[in-house]
Amino acid sequence: MPPRVNLNKCNGCEGLPESKCEEACPGDLMAVDPRTNKAYVRFAGDCWDCMSCTKACPTKAIETRVPYQIGYHKASLKPIMGSNTITWKCVDINGKEETYKYRNRMDK
């Protein structure tokens, strides 16, 4: 399912030549509406849930919805980026939360 942008958290990556979610999307699906300065998915049906935009957003404004066929209502999966780690926060349909932390490939 395409990502959902929290309009209260999105600041349009103000000051950057290109927003982080636009820069990250391999399908060129993300855009920032110049009237509202908020991001949106241009072609939701083309999104393949790679979560690149979710991980790249500096304000944590993008949420990936888990398709109901996989997770049912209330289930969610959220990546939290660290400097050289990624933590996946998983919530199942009963609200049970688990986290998995891995080193990523952005080590410097």
Q: How far is the CB of 87 from ligand SF4 (least distance, A)?
A: 18
62 vs 77, beta carbon nearer ligand SF4: 62
34 vs 95, beta carbon nearer ligand SF4: 34
Q: How far is the CB of 16 from ligand SF4 (least distance, A)?
A: 8
Residue 6 to residues 1, 68, 88, 98, Cα–Cα distance (Å): 15, 20, 19, 23
83 vs 94, beta carbon nearer ligand SF4: 83
User: Residues in the site for ligand SF4, rule: CB under 6 A?
Assistant: 2-3, 5, 10-13, 19-21, 24-25, 27, 29-30, 32, 39, 41, 47-53, 56-57, 59, 61-62
CA–CA separation, 73 vs 14, rounded Å? Answer: 33
Burial (CB count <10 Å: 0-12, 13-18, 19+), residue 28: exposed
4 C-beta neighbours (distance < 10 Å), count: 14
Q: How far is the CB of 94 from ligand SF4 (least distance, A)?
A: 26
Contact predicate 89/63, CB 8 Å: no
17 vs 95, beta carbon nearer ligand SF4: 17
